[in-house]
Each structure stands twice: as structure tokens, then as C-alpha cells.
């Protein structure tokens, strides 16, 4: 694969995250009523059809335009600063794909419907807020980014000490 072709791989990854996110959201909207819940692992995991007009855990309810502005700024920053933030390795590319794909997936919901479609519901010892594939991608992408940034910091310290 040529270098020119390789540079498109992160964007294909982003589109893959968005596609998986919206395929699952479409299925929930198509086959479930809002508020309906179907247990997958009784007492632990359910598919629950929820519409979230806020951010994570329902904070900032009804603040669609503020949430869209924050997301647009983050997307712009992540894309513009991709090399500096994520480095050149596979973990950085993974973090980029997951963060940008997750943010874009939820932005599409907010623009199209004014809310985000959530459906994964962990419960049992605690009742975790209902979330979706995009939210999962953002959390996993953030964890990958932390690992990348620690690695990049260590390399900078090693270069300075030489």
C-alpha cells in the first residue's frame, strides 16, 4: 500500500465507527419503542431505547446548540492537531478513529433528531447510565489517547536527557 493510500486509513476507521454506531441506533429506533427495555443478561445488561437530549449522564439537557458547538470545536482540534496529539503509531491512529468517530456519531444524531439515541444499559450492582456505540468509542479512544500521550511524554523526556 502506498504512503498516499495509508493516510486514508484513519478516516476509513472513523467512517467505520460512525457506520457501526448508526447501524445499531437505526436497529433500536426501528424495532423498539422509546422506553422499551429488553434484557440480554437478566440483572446485568439490557437493550433499552432512550433519547438523550443532554450530554453524558444527561447533563446539560436541552442544550443542543452548546453541545454541537463543543463537539465541532473538538472535531476541528482533533483533525487539525492529529499528528501532534496522536503520534504516528497504531495506538494513536486507533485513538483518533475512536474519538472522532464517536463524536461524529453523536453529532449526527443531534443534528438530525435533536437528541442522541442511547440503548446499552448495564445494571446490577449499580445502574450505569444508558449509552451507545459512539459513547463507548469515545471512552475507549480517550483511554488509548492517555496511553499515547504518556508514551509521547516519555519519548520527549528521553530526547531531552540525551
Cβ distance 90 to 44 under 8 Å? no
User: Coil, helix or strand for 125?
Assistant: coil
Active site residue 21: no
- DSSP assignment, residue 40? E
| Residues facing 3 on adjacent strands | none
- How many residues in the chain? 162
Which residue of the set 21, 109, 127, 135 is catalytic? 135
User: Coil, helix or strand for 42?
Assistant: coil
Return d(Cα 127, Cα 149) in angstroms, integer.
32
Active site residue 118: yes
Return d(Cα 99, Cα 23) in angstroms, integer.
18
Which active-site residues does the annotation give? 118, 135
Amino acid at each position: 500500500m502506498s504512503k498516499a493510500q495509508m493516510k486514508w486509513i484513519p478516516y476509513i476507521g472513523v467512517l467505520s465507527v460512525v457506520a457501526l454506531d448508526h447501524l445499531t441506533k437505526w436497529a433500536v429506533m426501528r424495532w423498539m419503542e422509546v422506553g422499551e427495555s429488553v434484557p440480554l443478561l437478566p440483572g446485568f445488561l439490557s437493550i433499552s431505547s432512550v433519547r438523550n437530549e443532554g450530554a453524558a449522564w444527561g447533563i446539560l439537557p436541552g442544550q443542543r446548540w452548546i453541545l454541537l458547538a463543543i463537539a465541532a470545536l473538538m472535531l476541528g482540534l482533533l483533525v487539525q492537531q492529529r499528528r501532534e496529539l496522536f503520534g504516528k503509531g497504531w495506538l494513536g491512529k486507533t485513538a483518533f478513529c475512536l474519538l472522532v468517530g464517536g463524536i461524529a456519531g453523536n453529532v449526527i444524531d443531534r443534528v438530525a433528531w435533536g437528541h442522541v439515541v442511547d440503548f446499552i444499559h448495564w445494571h446490577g450492582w449499580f445502574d450505569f447510565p444508558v449509552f451507545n456505540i459512539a459513547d463507548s468509542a469515545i471512552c475507549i479512544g480517550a483511554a488509548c489517547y492517555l496511553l499515547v500521550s504518556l508514551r509521547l511524554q516519555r519519548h520527549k523526556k528521553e530526547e531531552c536527557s540525551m
